[in-house]
Amino acid sequence: MSHILLTRFTPFDGREFNASWIAARALVAAHRSEHVLHGLRIPVCWGQPRPAIAQAIARWQPRGIIAMGEGAKGAFKIETLARNQRAPRKDNDGRLPTNPLIDPQGPDTRPASTHYSALCADLTRAGYPVQLSSDAGAYLCEELLYTLEALKLQHTNLKTVLFVHLPPFGSELELHGKLRQCDTALLQQFAAQLLASLDAQHLL
């Protein structure tokens, strides 16, 4: 049994929902794994991911962190690279980033440390449209992944960190050859399969 942290973002850009929020909340409430799951809501505000994650690590000492965000339509995207960049884009407080770099002292990039190719293949076999992505968007999702990889180097008990972009809530995607709405049930099913796939690969 391990403590696993699931992170989700608040809605942004005037949207009513965020798929990551729905997926994480649903999985924490209804999972059947042997793990203890904790949900963490992160504001879509520059500079918030690091203190939020650091506090959660200190509190729960998780073995794995599964981070999710809302991305483009049509696919689930496993992010494979975090860039030390912040786009000149306003956050939910209406503020631009005070620094164009996530960490002025950090490297230009941080490659994802999870064995994502096998994970992508496993989720694809389960029927989900999954892609590998090397562009996390230079917004708060990028900042979160960059932060996770940095913190993983500092905490030996933290075995796995992962960031996945989910299709927008309410959008349509093709699943098993049929169009399917990205609703609460689908997001919960995907999140549960993601957790099971990580378990099967002994990453949690």
Per-residue pLDDT of the chain (204 residues; tens, 9 = 90+): 789 999 999 888 778 889 998 998 888 887 777 889 999 999 999 999 999 999 999 999 999 999 999 999 999 999 999 999 999 999 999 999 999 999 999 999 999 999 899 999 999 999 999 999 999 999 999 999 999 999 999 998 999 999 999 999 999 998 888 899 999 999 999 999 999 999 888 888
Report the SS3 class of residue 166: strand
Cα-only R_g, the chain: 16
Domains identified in the chain and CATH numbers: 3-200 (3.40.630.20)
- Strand spans (E) along the chain: 3-9, 36-42, 64-70, 76-79, 81-83, 109-111, 130-133, 160-166, 172-175, 178-181
